[in-house]
Chain A
Amino acid sequence: MENCNMKRGFFFLRDCDHPAHQSCCVCGKAFCNDHLRIKPGSNEPVCLDCLGKTMQQQSQDKTKAAGRDRYNDDYYYDDVWCYGYRYNYYSSYRPWYVGQTSDLQGSHFSENDIRVFEPSAEIDDMDAEAPDPEANVFDS
């Protein structure tokens, strides 16, 4: 079964390990249920990237205030907003990509959009490190 094509994350893009279930009605790529929502106004699945982008465009277009409210009520405080927001944000920021550039195929990103985190510097010991928000930032 095909894996989800979403690159999740904001400062760090990572592959989604979940199997894809349905295709986005806008971009046609396959995604898992976590990265799909129901498109407002139709009953079709749409990926977070496409829905987020639409939401951002709606919020910038003052003449479509009614549509913006509908999107806001359903999705503004959801992950959808983050995925829409990152498209504007990436005009001045190149996210790290934790993976191989060959894995970018099928995603919304190309090699020019990202900075690859070198495999030797990749996350390797996260389990060994218990997060402690109270700890001194220089500890561990």
Chain B
Amino acid sequence: MKFFGAFSQYKALSDEQKAFISNAQKKFVKTPDELVKFFKPMAVFDKTCDEARAQLLNYVILFGVLSFLGIFAAIVALAEDYLIVIPIELLMVLLTFVGIIIRWRLSKIDIHNNLREFVVPVVNLIGQDMEAGTKISLDLDLRGKTLDSKLKDNRKNDPGWFSYPKVTTRVYDDPWFRLTGQLVDGSRLILNVDDQVTRIDKTYKGSSGKIKSKTKYKIKHEIMAGLALKHKKYAVAGENELTGLGDGLKYKDGDNRQLICLKDKIKTYDVDANVDPQRCLALLGKIFMSVQPAAEKGS
């Protein structure tokens, strides 16, 4: 029974961690070590919580089916005067409802998988290339992608009464991850992830004449990775190197630094899908592979 483990892990969290799970939004200015220490118990809890919910769903389905079959068994048992079936049937119904309630309670303290699958690995990896004690700024918003406050566009295509299809398209912008910090070579790092969620609600007439409704999601994750590299450390990138970085490139040259930004877009249909940290780290690797130390290029 994994939900026992999930509840005990939740109880072991500090008040600050519980508050973060309930608000799911905070701006941190801390060292990567401090952040990983803060997020790690929540990540472990979230993993157990997801496993517990999956396990409970199986139990609910099992007990639900047994309860349904039990109704027929109870009818037959009543006719046959075989009353032992009645308490068993009641127990099945009770277990089904208990399972539903526990699963609902767990869903209330669940946090988006992006925390454990993206935020923790990225902060941990970035921390490997920072001086001890250097702080990063991390702005997280894991409240949800389809909140009213994140609604940017709402279009309705309603041809009128008894006319179909009726289509409502809602577009949400969710800039949920903002990280800035300074790496060990003095470069300034910027990592942003913005999700754009398009929700399409369609009501239409099926071939049988029945009115049907369906909801479809399209999610676009846009990852932006930028490095402001010091001229003192890195030679100004040449045209050839910049061309090799592809279409998502943004380049700006300042007095002390050159800023190289790259973008990557991932499309999915799952509103709960998490972003793969590899996509984000690949952008940073691409930038670092395209530049050379000032001395090396100058020599």
Prevailing SS type, chain A contact patch = loop
Asked if A114 lies at the interface with its beta carbon under 8 angstroms from chain B, I say: no
B50 to chain A, nearest CB (A): 13
In the complex, chain A residues whose CB is within 8 Å of the CB of B36: 77
In the complex, chain A residues whose CB is within 8 Å of the CB of B126: 10
- Please give me the residue from chain A that is nearest to B48 by CB atom: A73
In the bound complex, what is the Cα–Cα distance between A12 and B124 (angstroms)? Answer: 14
Kindly identify, within residues 9 to 58 of chain A, every residue whose CB is under 8 Å from any CB belonging to chain B. 9-12, 14
In the bound complex, what is the Cα–Cα distance between A110 and B124 (angstroms)? Answer: 25
In the complex, chain B residues whose CB is within 8 Å of the CB of A125: 186
Whether the Cβ atoms of B186 and A139 lie closer than 8 Å is no
Kindly identify, within residues 54 to 104 of chain A, every residue whose CB is under 8 Å from any CB belonging to chain B. 72-73, 77-79, 81-82, 85, 89, 92-94, 96, 98
Whether the Cβ atoms of B185 and A123 lie closer than 8 Å is yes
Whether the Cβ atoms of A96 and B288 lie closer than 8 Å is yes
Whether the Cβ atoms of B296 and A121 lie closer than 8 Å is yes
Q: Tell me whether A77 and B39 are in contact in the complex, defined as CB-CB below 8 angstroms, given that A118-B293, A133-B29 are known contacts.
A: yes
B134 to chain A, nearest CB (A): 5
Q: Tell me whether A138 and B285 are in contact in the complex, defined as CB-CB below 8 angstroms, given that A117-B293, A121-B295 are known contacts.
A: no
Q: Tell me whether A133 and B125 are in contact in the complex, defined as CB-CB below 8 angstroms, given that A93-B289, A96-B288, A140-B256 are known contacts.
A: no
Q: Interface residue count for A (Cβ, 8 Å)?
A: 37
- Please give me the residue from chain B that is nearest to A138 by CB atom: B254
In the bound complex, what is the Cα–Cα distance between A120 and B137 (angstroms)? Answer: 30
In the bound complex, what is the Cα–Cα distance between A9 and B130 (angstroms)? Answer: 8
A127 to chain B, nearest CB (A): 9
Whether the Cβ atoms of B233 and A121 lie closer than 8 Å is yes
Q: Tell me whether A9 and B254 are in contact in the complex, defined as CB-CB below 8 angstroms, given that A131-B182, A133-B135 are known contacts.
A: no
B9 to chain A, nearest CB (A): 11
A86 to chain B, nearest CB (A): 8
In the bound complex, what is the Cα–Cα distance between A9 and B288 (angstroms)? Answer: 14
Residue of A77, A81, A120, A135 contacting most chain B CB atoms (<10 Å): A77
Q: Interface residue count for B (Cβ, 8 Å)?
A: 52
Whether the Cβ atoms of B188 and A137 lie closer than 8 Å is yes
Whether the Cβ atoms of A126 and B137 lie closer than 8 Å is no
Contact of B129 among A12, A85, A131, A140 (CB under 8 A): A12
B188 to chain A, nearest CB (A): 5
In the complex, chain B residues whose CB is within 8 Å of the CB of A82: 121, 124-125, 128
Whether the Cβ atoms of A94 and B256 lie closer than 8 Å is no
Q: Tell me whether A8 and B228 are in contact in the complex, defined as CB-CB below 8 angstroms, given that A131-B181, A138-B254 are known contacts.
A: no
In the complex, chain B residues whose CB is within 8 Å of the CB of A10: 125-126, 128-129
- Please give me the residue from chain A that is nearest to B226 by CB atom: A137
Asked if A2 lies at the interface with its beta carbon under 8 angstroms from chain B, I say: no
In the complex, chain A residues whose CB is within 8 Å of the CB of B282: 92
B interface residue numbers (CB < 8 A to A) = 29, 36, 39-40, 43-44, 47, 116, 120-121, 124-126, 128-129, 131, 134-137, 180-186, 188, 190, 226, 228, 232-234, 252, 254-257, 259, 278, 281-282, 284-285, 288-289, 293-296, 299
The 14 sampled A-B contact pairs (Cβ below 8 Å) are A9-B129, A11-B285, A79-B128, A81-B124, A85-B125, A93-B288, A96-B185, A123-B184, A126-B186, A133-B135, A137-B188, A138-B254, A138-B259, A139-B256
